[in-house]
Structure 1
């Protein structure tokens, strides 16, 4: 007989259970499944907007929900359609069960269901079926137990967390984000009706695959709502014309690298709030993808945008795309990777020199060949400009003047200033040398952004944070004076923007590491600081890549993505010395260095070959010697004995030298001398 439906069988078995045991003992002995399930980790921005969502371990989208976050109209429609006596029954609606059994007996088939929301929760928690009598009996028992141990609000929350909505979507929040691209706080009648209908047959009614079935089910809900008085008839009729979603929407997937980092730092936390701005982050990621299309193959890039007044990172792009492989190695977060900073440390060196009274922006400094033992820095183009102002040396990013200044400051003091400003420099060796000033140190993009944020904040360190509520590990401190910071910023702001870049008073500096491996651009205005890196994550060279050509245009493009116009840089502090070269105090007019009184004159004779300390092999033809500067005629001595006098040429060969250590010396017509020691084999 077809009346022996699963529902009737369940009812009979339920009566048998009551006969064997008291109801209370039977219910109290029920073993409950876990009531707390894993939900998707959510990453949110500074305003609470969604940045990224992660699936749970089994690949489902299941987001935690609070009833206060759900549209009350939807809840009203859900209860009116699924379980109108939800707040009055004890987990099982016996009246509905008897009605369903009677209808089944009369019609010979199941006409209406009697499953309450609590019974559906029981089924969802245990992932049991609905058609077998044993499963139905278990749902009845579990529903009664749930009602005794949970509140109605908690049971409804469990339903809204676990109800299926097609595919791997579970819960009301995952459903509204996936089908409508929004939170369930406010829903249209058509949206609410579809969400009521979907859990009954989530696969057969998936709107992206079965739009007709989805629409029909939704319309039946709307019709029922008018009959119960839950929804006014005009609203229901208008909702019939709303389309059903044609496809699933992608969940937000912004800021993948920072999101992964936040999740790794607090894996048990379900919701993370970052200082990022979701709208800005989206624009920056779009910019990065667009820029990458115009770059040589296998290049990657990174961008950081921060509010240096608040010390908060507003946008962070670790790579142009995010994947587990590919030609751009986009899984590598290049905002934290250690790379050579090229010339981007020069502003700090000059600022330290200004603070120590070694130089002023209008101080004249020599750009000419120089050697520090075996280290002989060269300008990027191999040219020399003679005497230039310090400001011009920084604008042209000349190497020799900044190394002269760093030699007076001391590389260890530069390293100390970097660390005190929040940077984490990594040295190839234990002792810093002069090459540090030209990029001979490992720094990250976040390090350089901190450095330029410090310059923007009048020389005060800025501990940049990226998680809301984080307190700085170290307090802010004054690294350089306000005047020195302003002077450097004023010089950098006088640089012309890249060709085609929008005009704006932006203090910025570019840099290119040795071998064209890294192209940098970092800049700031009165509120924001932005850092840009372009290169290959594996550190291989990019022939012809320069920071000014590649990174600077992207820096200015990033500034265009901000919501506000550039904020003007501040005026000079009252203590700033604003004078021309001729009006400076005598010691500041020309850079000479502390040992100038003992140093040879710039045009004194020099032995440029062989270099001091060189080890050479004699070939029987004598030792070639090259001189520079000085006033002829010259006298050349080897181990204290004259070997040539009356010389007027600057190149000659010295015969007769024996193996071992030798000292060569040259004396010009004015009695000025230079000497080197060499080892001959």
Structure 2
């Protein structure tokens, strides 16, 4: 009995020792691996040092930006590429990728046997995980490097998993020249995003990294074709119907490299500096952006040296920018690296619509109010109109439409510059004043700095019922936006500004121009029922363009901008004749008597009007007559013989006038 008990004790001790030994065999290597992994973590800096892809609102590529050093290394993961690309990669490079922990003993054994027999490397035996390790930390092809790569492969599998290993390969695989990764390869070799490549194109991207310089299709097209076809015929490649396989094998390889996409270069770089590595989606529209850049490029040909153009187009309701042209990118002599939509410049008269809307909102004036455009001093300041003349008595609507300066300064005096500056700040356009200066009356004529983006945002408030809201380039829910003026006041100004373009363009657009002192900045902003847009023309260095005005330089370009946009016309104010109508509609405001060029006998005259919108104001040489209002006629007694100009204005500010002569008395 004692002997049997001793035997069982011995067996238990042996089993315990064997178990401890087996545990040591299993645990100690794992413990050693974990310790080494903590002491020597893999260097992922190359994977993290990447460029940026900027997308439009539909996910189309707007622009690609290189990584530091000019390398086109763009991040991409396996979930972002077609499944046939990953399937071709695994079939060509590592068929057991899904089943091994980073090292493939069968492949390594085969490679060692072939090396021993041939005395040279016949097959590498590298798994995709080992290739990923080599892409992260390139080393000379030695046995020591292989050992390090094997350890790193296990680390990557442990830390990143299979999807992470694929991400490394897809992002860093060399594609010839300064191209790395399948995203950059697809853009450069096929001119399309990697998400949209076909089977033949995917096979070429899998093949090139084996010998990236020898298989560049722009230099070695036949070798690239042969390597691609070998990938397509590889055992384990995705099963394709025979017609599709034959079609893939028949596809030509690209023979030249496509330029990287570069739309909206200024905005793309601005946003990329604040974003991570993932593709960045914006609110822009790639097609519209391309059109606006082409439009600006065409217009530059007719401008003086060193002049440049900036354009902003946005959706009225959401305030999302759809196109942003900051200038001619990197154009020599035009400060092409500067984003001129963010340059602080004087807006000239382009802020007058907000001034009039605020005045209407506070009852200081109405569209039909008669105002004086006559010489006047405001303290030590005596403003003048751009044309140096004066129009006498005019309605507020006419003063705004003609951009007269004296009525605007008078409104600013009544409203208060501080109140106007506060409204600009609430609209996201705080006026930039000289150091130590306070808001003053010159604000009415552009006496403060503003950017094109801010000016378009201010203009959007007029077109959107007085609602504030900053422009934005990144998607997200729109803000509520406070009301800066009441909708009735904003709509009154919008109706005044809705008029045909002088040199032709789409109907139903409200627009306003601005010219800074000396012709340094030419502006035009406008809106229809859906869009708001702004154009700036000038020299980035601030020097003047002789004779430049917003009406002559910026307004024709704004008309072309709205001609490019989908039509969304605002309703024309009653009494406004469409530009293309030769005789005008029946309700167009017109003078029935006296007709233009009439010779009138001295004595009482009855002036008669037709069409238009009540109430009416009748003027002779800018001086309003006592009668008018809802009536369509007014009495006038000429002061004596001579030439006079008779004018009628309706409630919308539409004018009709005629020059007449009064005979001397017999």
Q: Could you tell me which residue of structure 1 aligns to residue 608 of structure 2?
A: none
Task: Please give the residue correspondences for 1:75-224 in structure 2 after superposition, counting only pairs within 5 Å.
Answer: 75-104=86-115, 109-130=120-141, 132-224=142-234
- 1:331 is paired with a residue of what secondary structure? coil
Q: Could you tell me which residue of structure 2 aligns to residue 623 of structure 1?
A: none
Q: For the residues of structure 2 that align with 1:228 and 1:471, how far apart are their CA atoms?
A: 48
Q: Could you tell me which residue of structure 2 aligns to residue 461 of structure 1?
A: 468
**TM-score scaled by structure 2?**
0.77
Q: Could you tell me which residue of structure 2 aligns to residue 422 of structure 1?
A: 428
Q: For the residues of structure 2 that align with 1:503 and 1:124, how far apart are their CA atoms?
A: 56
2:175, 2:185 within 8 Å by CA — same for their partners in 1? yes
Q: For the residues of structure 1 that align with 2:237 and 2:335, how far apart are their CA atoms?
A: 58
2:341, 2:453 within 8 Å by CA — same for their partners in 1? yes
| 1:22, distance to aligned residue in structure 2 (A) | 8.0
The number of equivalent residue pairs is 555
1:363, 1:590 within 8 Å by CA — same for their partners in 2? no
User: In the alignment, which of 530, 533, 548 is matched to residue 530 of structure 1?
Assistant: 533
CA distances 1:151-183 after superposition (whole Å, capped 9, x unpaired): 223222222222111112222222222212223
1:302, 1:334 within 8 Å by CA — same for their partners in 2? yes
- 2:411 is paired with a residue of what secondary structure? helix
Q: Could you tell me which residue of structure 2 aligns to residue 305 of structure 1?
A: 313
Q: CA 1:559/1:95 → structure 2, altered by over 3 Å: closer, same or farther?
A: same
1:525, 1:569 within 8 Å by CA — same for their partners in 2? no
2:42, 2:156 within 8 Å by CA — same for their partners in 1? no
Q: For the residues of structure 2 that align with 1:332 and 1:259, how far apart are their CA atoms?
A: 13
Q: For the residues of structure 2 that align with 1:507 and 1:527, how far apart are their CA atoms?
A: 12
| 1:228, distance to aligned residue in structure 2 (A) | 6.2
| 1:551, distance to aligned residue in structure 2 (A) | 0.2
Q: For the residues of structure 2 that align with 1:231 and 1:430, how far apart are their CA atoms?
A: 74
> Where do 5+ consecutive residues of structure 1 fail to align?
1-18, 573-577, 584-588, 592-681
1:526, 1:570 within 8 Å by CA — same for their partners in 2? no
CA distances 1:62-83 after superposition (whole Å, capped 9, x unpaired): 2222222121122222211211
Moved more, 409-418 or 553-562: 409-418
Q: CA 1:403/1:202 → structure 2, altered by over 3 Å: closer, same or farther?
A: same
Q: For the residues of structure 2 that align with 1:229 and 1:381, how far apart are their CA atoms?
A: 75
Q: Could you tell me which residue of structure 2 aligns to residue 366 of structure 1?
A: 372
Q: For the residues of structure 2 that align with 1:267 and 1:438, how far apart are their CA atoms?
A: 39
Q: Could you tell me which residue of structure 2 aligns to residue 669 of structure 1?
A: none
Q: For the residues of structure 2 that align with 1:203 and 1:298, how far apart are their CA atoms?
A: 42
User: In the alignment, which of 396, 411, 431 is matched to residue 405 of structure 1?
Assistant: 411
1:308, 1:462 within 8 Å by CA — same for their partners in 2? no
Q: CA 1:427/1:103 → structure 2, altered by over 3 Å: closer, same or farther?
A: closer
- 1:453 is paired with a residue of what secondary structure? helix
User: In the alignment, which of 415, 438, 447 is matched to residue 440 of structure 1?
Assistant: 447
Q: For the residues of structure 2 that align with 1:211 and 1:57, how far apart are their CA atoms?
A: 29
Tell me if 1:376 matches 2:382.
yes
Tell me if 1:257 matches 2:266.
yes
CA distances 1:605-645 after superposition (whole Å, capped 9, x unpaired): xxxxxxxxxxxxxxxxxxxxxxxxxxxxxxxxxxxxxxxxx
Task: Please give the residue correspondences for 1:181-580 in structure 2 after superposition, counting only pairs within 5 Å.
Answer: 181-225=191-235, 230-264=239-273, 266=274, 268=276, 270-319=278-327, 321-323=328-330, 326-428=332-434, 430-469=437-476, 476-494=481-499, 496-499=500-503, 501-562=504-565, 564-569=566-571, 579-580=614-615
Q: CA 1:96/1:354 → structure 2, altered by over 3 Å: closer, same or farther?
A: closer
Q: CA 1:145/1:374 → structure 2, altered by over 3 Å: closer, same or farther?
A: closer
Q: CA 1:200/1:364 → structure 2, altered by over 3 Å: closer, same or farther?
A: same
Q: CA 1:590/1:348 → structure 2, altered by over 3 Å: closer, same or farther?
A: farther
- 2:537 is paired with a residue of what secondary structure? strand
Q: For the residues of structure 2 that align with 1:335 and 1:229, how far apart are their CA atoms?
A: 50
2:370, 2:394 within 8 Å by CA — same for their partners in 1? yes
1:367, 1:401 within 8 Å by CA — same for their partners in 2? yes
Q: CA 1:220/1:431 → structure 2, altered by over 3 Å: closer, same or farther?
A: closer
Q: For the residues of structure 2 that align with 1:233 and 1:103, how far apart are their CA atoms?
A: 35
- 2:406 is paired with a residue of what secondary structure? helix
CA distances 1:321-341 after superposition (whole Å, capped 9, x unpaired): 222x72101222221222111
Q: Could you tell me which residue of structure 1 aligns to residue 580 of structure 2?
A: none
Q: Could you tell me which residue of structure 2 aligns to residue 595 of structure 1?
A: none
| 1:435, distance to aligned residue in structure 2 (A) | 2.1
1:364, 1:590 within 8 Å by CA — same for their partners in 2? no
1:298, 1:328 within 8 Å by CA — same for their partners in 2? yes
| 1:202, distance to aligned residue in structure 2 (A) | 0.7
| 1:127, distance to aligned residue in structure 2 (A) | 0.7
Q: Could you tell me which residue of structure 1 aligns to residue 592 of structure 2?
A: none
- 1:52 is paired with a residue of what secondary structure? strand
| 1:196, distance to aligned residue in structure 2 (A) | 1.7
| 1:231, distance to aligned residue in structure 2 (A) | 4.2
1:349, 1:405 within 8 Å by CA — same for their partners in 2? yes
- 2:335 is paired with a residue of what secondary structure? coil
- 1:538 is paired with a residue of what secondary structure? coil
Q: Could you say what the CA RMSD is over the residues aligned between the two structures, in angstroms?
A: 2.9
Q: For the residues of structure 1 that align with 2:237 and 2:385, how far apart are their CA atoms?
A: 84
1:76, 1:230 within 8 Å by CA — same for their partners in 2? no
| 1:51, distance to aligned residue in structure 2 (A) | 2.4
- 1:98 is paired with a residue of what secondary structure? helix
- 2:518 is paired with a residue of what secondary structure? helix
Q: For the residues of structure 2 that align with 1:209 and 1:410, how far apart are their CA atoms?
A: 70
Q: For the residues of structure 1 that align with 2:312 and 2:423, how far apart are their CA atoms?
A: 22
- 1:240 is paired with a residue of what secondary structure? helix
Q: For the residues of structure 1 that align with 2:427 and 2:158, how far apart are their CA atoms?
A: 59
- 1:301 is paired with a residue of what secondary structure? strand
- 1:151 is paired with a residue of what secondary structure? helix
2:318, 2:478 within 8 Å by CA — same for their partners in 1? no
